Structure 1
Amino acid sequence: MWKFTLRRILIMIPQLFVLSVLIFLLAKAMPGDALTGAMQANPNVSPQVLAEQREKLGLNDPAWQQYGRWIGNLVQGDLGKSYVHKIGVADLIGSRLANTFYLGVAILVLTYLISIPLGILSGRYQNSLLDKTITGYTYLSFATPLFIFALLILFVFGFQLGWFPTSGSVDVGIDPGSGSYYANKFYHLILPAIAGALVSTTATIQYLRNEVIDTRLKDFVKTARSKGVPESKVYSKHILRNSLLPIAAFLGYDLTGVLAGNLFIESIFGYPGLGQLFLQSITQRDYSVVTILVMLSGLLALIGTLLSDIILSWVDPRIRIG
């Protein structure tokens, strides 16, 4: 296991290098440059000043020199500076990271709390009215675009009923660190977390339902039943454990996805996280922020793949990765 983990980590190094090259080339292919966003924020800047700034920042250098400078600073922990927000990219991401983490954890927990019981019940009582109802819910959830569902939830429970806030992560004027501060942050978190979780349950329910149906027909389950094992224990000790393997395979992605940010949810609910920052940076052409966020997403995807393999081998003792 340790040899496998070390080997996978070493393989990630050239993968990250290729990813960084692709991200840099795509950023260079986009219209404008790093000063375009700053020019939009201050249109009165003279062309001469912009030309001097481009020369000072090395934006006129060959692409390979710019890439070498960028990747060198990145390795040293220097993520660059946001030309729109006028602060370091690390500080800017750090100010949004906690909100993205809270929202990601809330969506992940709600997704599993909803999908695991529904998937087990749907598979156990196949073709029953309960199964058809749950399956109908998954079809409806799968067919509904996330942004439409989120807008509907926001309109009904935020604007019409007024039960939840319609934007932000905390109300203005509340002292940070107090009990009311965290209670208010949780209050702002409820609606976007529910919207994200209800749409995210579809795949888990379907995977778990199909695995329960397939597993209960296998020989070791029939053997357990023939020995007189109670049906409840057959499901809890034999069927459920083996049926959770597909979920374990995706758990690594889900865990790293907690920090990736949710672009649509954060944008629609005005929730200040990394997803909203990414969309704003694209529209404002803040390339230094965009490249770092894309690089962060790629890194999280690679780590998620590694975690999924490790978790899968831990859940199922029959799987041994050398």
Structure 2
Amino acid sequence: MGKGRYLLKRFIYIVFVFFIISILMFFIYKIMPGDPVTMMLGDAKANMKPDAYQRLYDQTRESLGLNSPLYVQYVRWISNMLTGNFGYSTQYKTDVINMIGTPMFNTVMLNLVSMLVTFIIAVPLGIATAVRRNTVFDKAVQVVTIVGYSLPSFIIALLAIFAFSVKIPIFPISGVRTAGFEGNSFQMALDTLWHMALPVIVMSISGIGSITRYVRAAMIDVLRMDYIKTARSKGLREKVVIYVHAFRNALIPVVTIATAWVVSLFGGSIVIENVFLWPGLGQTLINGLMQRDFSVVLTMQMFYVVLSLAGNVIMDIAYTIVDPRVRLEN
């Protein structure tokens, strides 16, 4: 009953926040300068008589529902969105649902690989620096992680491109596949991973820096506790003390920062995708803003809103997994 009540309360909270943000987003974009119909018609004005162009312009606005009051447009938009109809893209001349699949897949793939690389490196590195506290190894890792955490991702991206695509041409600068490349499924996957390598490295550097430091701090706090001293005094092997007793409790404070980082990773990938011309949601979002394609832009924004709200619930559930003493209803 307690968990059910908690989940119901969280669901109501998520729905409330979702609608508030959707209202703000919708009206902010609607009052922005620029006319999506003008962008959609492109050069038609130069090739048509003024009367004919005006009729086409008026018909297009009417077909897109842009002549209705703003509150009517919002109700229509949110109703359609909740039923899977994300509107019509004036830039791509098709429904948003038809063009969003590939960019979303590319973004999710890029972020999942970055998350995997980050946690595989950061968690063991954080444990190792905590166990070897105040050694040369620990201090060297601290310096490197501070630099990686402090530098903006776009600066790291530009440095990486200069170093590994210009000076030493190991990785491609942009794209998801080599132009004109043909091969079997395995070869195509390797080609995609090759193009993904540099963006993944750049996106992982900041995460490795922050998560390594949080894991280190949490492990140091746990290793000072009395029950760890008791476990060692009983003759337990050091690996058992560290990985069985200490690490599980050290995970508790790390869960919060790790979940928040995962959510922010998707938002931060917007910059990286545009630097590396990765055809994902970030590049689609920027192109939509430039072309005043508000159906695409609003869909992208609401995706990140839902991701953020879901991340908060996942964080609470993860807390109960790493620490059974914590109850959802509390």
1:136 aligns to 2:134 (yes or no)? no
Letter in 2 for 1:287: F
Shift of 1:255: 5.5
Shift of 1:175: 4.9
Letter in 1 for 2:204: A
Aligned to 2:14: 12
* Distance in 2 between residues matched to 1:54 and 1:19, nearest whole Å: 26
Letter in 2 for 1:131: D
Please state whether the residue corresponding to 1:102 is helix, strand or coil.
helix
* Distance in 2 between residues matched to 1:22 and 1:135, nearest whole Å: 41
Shift of 1:288: 0.9
1:22 aligns to 2:29 (yes or no)? no
Please state whether the residue corresponding to 2:89 is helix, strand or coil.
coil
Letter in 2 for 1:282: L
* Distance in 1 between residues matched to 2:74 and 2:316, nearest whole Å: 33
- After TM superposition, the structure 1 = structure 2 runs for residues 112-123 of structure 1, keeping only pairs within 5 Å, are 112-123=119-130
* Distance in 2 between residues matched to 1:54 and 1:130, nearest whole Å: 64
1:217 aligns to 2:224 (yes or no)? yes
Aligned to 1:87: 94
Range that drifts further, 156-165 or 171-180: 171-180
Out of 161, 173, 179, the residue aligned to residue 180 of structure 2 is: 173
Shift of 1:226: 2.9
Out of 150, 157, 163, the residue aligned to residue 150 of structure 1 is: 157
1:32 aligns to 2:39 (yes or no)? no
- After TM superposition, the structure 1 = structure 2 runs for residues 29-108 of structure 1, keeping only pairs within 5 Å, are 29-39=31-41, 44=46, 48=54, 49-108=56-115
Please state whether the residue corresponding to 1:35 is helix, strand or coil.
helix
Q: Is the 8 A contact 2:88 2:295 kept in 1?
A: yes
* Distance in 2 between residues matched to 1:307 and 1:50, nearest whole Å: 47
Out of 294, 303, 320, the residue aligned to residue 313 of structure 1 is: 320
Aligned residues: 322
* Distance in 2 between residues matched to 1:167 and 1:41, nearest whole Å: 30
TM-score between the two structures when normalised by the length of structure 1? 0.92
Structure 1 residues 43 and 237 mapped into 2: Cα distance closer, same or farther (>3 Å)?
farther
* Distance in 2 between residues matched to 1:259 and 1:128, nearest whole Å: 35
Letter in 2 for 1:218: M
* Distance in 1 between residues matched to 2:100 and 2:31, nearest whole Å: 24
Please state whether the residue corresponding to 2:36 is helix, strand or coil.
coil
Q: Is the 8 A contact 2:218 2:254 kept in 1?
A: no
Structure 1 residues 127-170: Cα deviation after superposition (integer angstroms, max 9, x where no partner): 21111111101211122111011011112211222211111101
Letter in 1 for 2:23: V
Structure 1 residues 121 and 256 mapped into 2: Cα distance closer, same or farther (>3 Å)?
same
* Distance in 2 between residues matched to 1:41 and 1:214, nearest whole Å: 65
Q: Is the 8 A contact 1:104 1:261 kept in 2?
A: no
Q: CA RMSD in A?
A: 2.2
* Distance in 2 between residues matched to 1:317 and 1:205, nearest whole Å: 24
TM-score between the two structures when normalised by the length of structure 2? 0.90
Q: Is the 8 A contact 2:263 2:308 kept in 1?
A: yes
Gap runs ≥5 in structure 2: none
Please state whether the residue corresponding to 1:134 is helix, strand or coil.
helix
1:303 aligns to 2:305 (yes or no)? no
Range that drifts further, 226-235 or 249-258: 249-258
Please state whether the residue corresponding to 1:142 is helix, strand or coil.
helix
| Identity among equivalent pairs (%) | 34
Shift of 1:122: 1.7
* Distance in 1 between residues matched to 2:118 and 2:240, nearest whole Å: 25
Gap runs ≥5 in structure 1: none
